[in-house]
Every structure is written in C-alpha cells, then in structure tokens.
C-alpha cells in the first residue's frame, strides 16, 4: 500500500485511518513499556544485542571527539546507551537526544540503572517526547542519527526520512536497524511459524499483552524489503545508501550519509 497517498495506512495486518495510527501505536508501547527490554531478550534469544552492536559499528564513531546523536524512536534508550559505551571506549563523548512518541517508554528508560550510570561517565541523555515525522531539533544539528525497530511504526515514512536528513549535518551518518525479509522462502516460513506461533503468547505470558505482540509480528511482515527501503532513503537525499543483512535477513541495517 502506498502510505503517502492513501487515507488508510497499515496497522499490522489491519488497515486503519491515517489519523488513528499514531494513537494505536502509542497504545501498544504504553502497554509493553515496563517489560519491553526483557521481552527483547526473550523473543530474539539475545540476538538483538548482536544486531545493536553491528548498528553501533556502522556509526563509525571517531576517537576523541564530542558527538551529537539523535536516537529517533529511542524508547528506553537502549541504542543511545550502547553508542555512549562505544564512545567512552574510544575516548569520545556524546550528547544523546532520545526522541520518542511515547512518554511511558522513556520513563522506563530513565529508570534504568545502566542509563543512570553511563550518563555519569561519557555523556548526557536528553529524553524528549516527539515524533519522527516532526523532530523537535534544529537543522544540521547532529553527527549521527539512529532509529532501531522504530521506522516500521511511523505513519509517514517519507516525512520521517526527510526529517532525519534535515537534522543531520553534512557528513552526518544515518543508520536504521529494522526487521527485514529472508531471501530463502523456506527459512522465511520457518521464521514466520516461530514468530506468529510463539511471540504473541509469550507477550501475553510475560507482559500480559498478547495483542501488542501480535501487532509487532504483523508489522514486521508489512515492512518493505531492504532494496525497497533503500530507494526511500535515496529519495530522501541520502547518499551511498546500503544495507547489511543480519542473521540471514531476520533484520537489516539500512545506512546512508547526508552529504
């Protein structure tokens, strides 16, 4: 479905009015905020940590610098935390601007002891409520922009990519981690069987939110292939757009530069 031209947009496998999607997505993350981090470990068997480490590699953080990072759909601050840890290893520091539509997710993030500890060491966390389609930050103000498992939830992807391009400085790096698609139909079938059969019940059991996790697995299927998404990056003005598949295509990094 062409999300930019229609009054209807996907919400998992359902079609909903464009104006309703943000509220529905907010409901999902309100419901799971306190169990979000533990569910990530359970659902992915810890794999999300490996994917996030690859994401941080892809940022090419330089040693002994001070950087401005914007983490869009930053939720509980997991990506900002990892970027800060990497910066510290390289003798660098970061201001991490975590922008999320959902105050509940950020409340859970602020309460994380590891976030509190990291902030004392190598930088600062700034949690701000806002949406990817209208980032509350000035033009050309960031060196790095990340978005992990967030882009498939936004209502207007083209607007979100245009905003990412706007807030990055020339030379700035864009890295998006998102679930993707496997090249082998057989593997995809096996993965679908796992995700549709086990993840919603697991979400019901651990977070008391089966419906939220049903949406999450459906939204993964609705997200385009890396090739299609890279075209959207190029259309937004990103240069040298490229993808790196992770775990056989379960997830992918989608990267580009603002020149």
Ligand X SMILES: C[S@@+](CC[C@H](N)C(=O)[O-])C[C@H]1O[C@@H](n2cnc3c(N)ncnc32)[C@H](O)[C@@H]1O
Interface residues with ligand X (CB under 6 A) are: 25, 29, 72-75, 78-79, 100-102, 105, 131-133, 148-150, 153-154
Nearer to ligand X, 40 or 68 (CB): 40
Query: How far from 164 is each of 170, 172, 217, CA to CA, in Å?
Result: 12, 10, 25
The annotation places the binding site for S-adenosyl-L-methionine at 76, 100
Nearer to ligand X, 92 or 163 (CB): 163
Distance CA 155, CA 73 (A): 13
**Cα angle, residue 125 at apex, residues 120 and 128 outer, rounded to 5°:** 155
**Given the DSSP bridges, would you call strands 251-258 and 168-179 parallel, antiparallel or unpaired?**
antiparallel
Nearer to ligand X, 56 or 131 (CB): 131
**Bridge partners for 176 per DSSP:** 147, 254
- Residue 132 CB, nearest distance to ligand X (Å)? 4
- Residue 172 CB, nearest distance to ligand X (Å)? 19
Per the CB < 8 A criterion, the answer to whether 49 and 82 are in contact is no
Nearer to ligand X, 44 or 188 (CB): 44
């Amino acid at each position: 479905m062409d999300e930019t031209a229609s009054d209807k947009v996907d919400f998992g496998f359902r079609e909903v009015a464009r104006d309703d999607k943000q509220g529905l997505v907010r409901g999902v993350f309100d419901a799971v905020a306190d169990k979000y981090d533990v569910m990530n470990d359970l659902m992915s068997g810890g794999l999300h940590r490996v994917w996030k480490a690859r994401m941080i590699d892809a940022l090419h953080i330089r040693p002994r610098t001070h950087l401005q990072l914007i983490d869009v759909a930053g939720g509980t601050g997991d990506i900002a935390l990892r970027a800060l840890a990497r910066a510290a290893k390289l003798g660098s520091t970061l201001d991490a601007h975590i922008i999320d539509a959902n105050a509940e997710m950020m409340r859970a993030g602020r309460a994380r002891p590891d976030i509190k500890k990291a902030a004392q060491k190598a930088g600062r966390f700034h949690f701000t409520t806002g949406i990817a389609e209208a980032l509350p930050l000035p033009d050309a103000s960031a060196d790095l922009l990340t978005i992990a498992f967030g882009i498939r939830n936004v209502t207007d992807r083209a607007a979100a990519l245009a905003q990412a391009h706007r807030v990055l400085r020339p030379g700035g790096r864009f890295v998006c981690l998102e679930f993707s698609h496997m090249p082998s139909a057989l593997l995809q079938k096996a993965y679908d069987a796992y995700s549709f059969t086990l993840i919603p019940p697991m979400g019901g059991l651990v977070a008391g939110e089966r419906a939220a996790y049903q949406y999450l697995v459906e939204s993964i299927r609705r997200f385009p292939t890396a090739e299609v998404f890279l075209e959207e990056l190029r259309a937004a003005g990103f240069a040298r757009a490229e993808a790196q598949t992770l775990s056989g295509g379960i997830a992918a990094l989608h990267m580009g530069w603002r020149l």
